Structure 1
Amino acid sequence: MSTALLAASRTLQGLLLAELQADPVLQLLFPPLGPSVVSIATPDGMVAQDLTGVSVWLYRVARDEQRLNQPPLRLPPDRLRPPPLPLRLHYLMTPVMRSAAGDPAPETDQHVLGAILRTFHSRPLLSGAFLAGTLAGTDRELAVRLESPGLEEIARVWDTLEQPYRTSLCYEVGLVEVESTRLDERGPPVLESWPRLGQATQATAGAGT
């Protein structure tokens, strides 16, 4: 599905918002009690819109090389479905909080960072009711893993944003699959299946008696 990336982002967004709303202190800052949001916009995009909260920004998309060459899915009796494109998504999660006077709020930022870490440490696998968008109601599962990119890579990301560096967290999310638009292909039917191990053992034993 072409909406898989957005669905993964919405999944992270929804879970994180629910956890922030449940925090005894931070719930005062997020809806319905406060104006802060969890946004999939970039940190500078939130600043430009005068928003406070958390930026969950998809900053890099990479192919999963280990699953890139997976074979087509066989659909009985004689059709082959092209495999999906396997992807790993990389997110930069950045608190963008301000005090009532509009000044930076480092204490609140660090509280939010702790809440993000707690959220995905407690729920490293997201499935079932946690999935949002077009992933909702499917049997898909998203694995969320904390990353530690080098200082040079992080510096390049913030240089791209043209914003002063903010303490952030990086997470990898996988596996996200984008389905092919190619039609199913006709393949040779499976005419005979190999016997199971137990059946083959019994057949061999019977032949030797």
Structure 2
Amino acid sequence: MRGGFTIGDYSVIADVSASLLKLLREQMTPDPIPQPELIGLGSPVDKGDFYLSLFLFNVKESGNNRRTQMISRGTDQMQYPPLAVDLHYMLTVQSPAELQSRALDEHRILGRAMQVLYDNSVLRGSTVVGTLAEREEEVRIVMDNVSGEGMLSMWNFAETPYRLSISYMVGPVMIDSTRVKSVKRVLERDVSIQG
């Protein structure tokens, strides 16, 4: 807290991840995934029993959403504009079904995940958690147009065979600056007219 306002909110990336996880868990259980705990955050190769994993694999500055205006914080301080970033997530599906029905099961899970993210393409309201709930900015969810070859090249997990995955871009996400500048406001103005 500085000058009566909170700055330096760096937890917004974690809040976006938690919000996505909450959304998927609420809308994908009990069908096609039987329990919410089977949807989680983690690398596609983490040991575990996730049917659907959400993996933050890249963060990029969002040049199109860069802000340049200082933010007024009271009468004597200005805060530098926030850093705008886009978050890139990989959703990976892994069904425990028998080999004969595994692929179809994974396709159903993937289809439902895509449907949920499409129908909730703007994170807001009761969907969001943490500091994200206190902000007025909209965070959009857009499927990344990554080619099959591009997805395979992103799948760089040593000896682990490729699993059905898709990529999403979520943003813009604003990370507050901790820099503030003291300013003196004009309290009086003397206007003299010369004739």
Give the whole-Å Cα distance in 2 for the aligned partners of 1:80 and 1:167.
47
Higher relative contact order (CA 8 A, sep 6+): 2
Give the whole-Å Cα distance in 2 for the aligned partners of 1:162 and 1:38.
23
Structure 2: unaligned runs, 5 residues or longer:
1-8, 189-195
Residue 42 of structure 1: aligned partner: 43
Q: TM-score, normalised by structure 1?
A: 0.76
**2:18 is equivalent to residue 10 of structure 1:** yes
Aligned ranges 1:149-160 → 2 under 5 Å: 149-160=146-157
Give the whole-Å Cα distance in 2 for the aligned partners of 1:92 and 1:155.
12
Residue 136 of structure 1: aligned partner: 133
8 A Cα contact 2:84 2:173, kept in partner:
yes
**2:170 is equivalent to residue 165 of structure 1:** no
Residue 52 of structure 1: aligned partner: 50
Q: Residue 133 of structure 1: CA displacement?
A: 3.0
Residue 189 of structure 1: aligned partner: 185
Structure 1: unaligned runs, 5 residues or longer:
193-209
Residue 176 of structure 1: aligned partner: 173
Which has the greater radius of gyration?
1
Residue 114 of structure 1: aligned partner: 111
Q: Which amino acid aligns with 2:156?
A: D
Give the whole-Å Cα distance in 2 for the aligned partners of 1:11 and 1:42.
18
Give the whole-Å Cα distance in 2 for the aligned partners of 1:162 and 1:69.
42
- Identity of aligned pairs, percent? 24
What per-residue deviation string (whole Å, max 9, x for no partner) do you get for residues 2-32 of structure 1?
A: 1111110111111011111153xx25x224x
Residue 197 of structure 1: aligned partner: none
Which one of the candidate residues 64, 74, 95 is aligned to 1:97?
Answer: 95
What per-residue deviation string (whole Å, max 9, x for no partner) do you get for residues 51-78 of structure 1?
A: 1311110011000112335221123434
8 A Cα contact 1:52 1:98, kept in partner:
no
What per-residue deviation string (whole Å, max 9, x for no partner) do you get for residues 175-197 of structure 1?
A: 11112222x211353669xxxxx
Q: TM-score, normalised by structure 2?
A: 0.81
CA RMSD of aligned residues (A): 2.4
Q: Which amino acid aligns with 1:41?
A: G
What per-residue deviation string (whole Å, max 9, x for no partner) do you get for residues 86-119 of structure 1?
A: 11001101111112x6888211110011101110
Q: Which amino acid aligns with 1:43?
A: P
What per-residue deviation string (whole Å, max 9, x for no partner) do you get for residues 156-186 of structure 1?
A: 211246421122121110011112222x211
Aligned length: 180
Change (3 A) 1:40 1:187: same
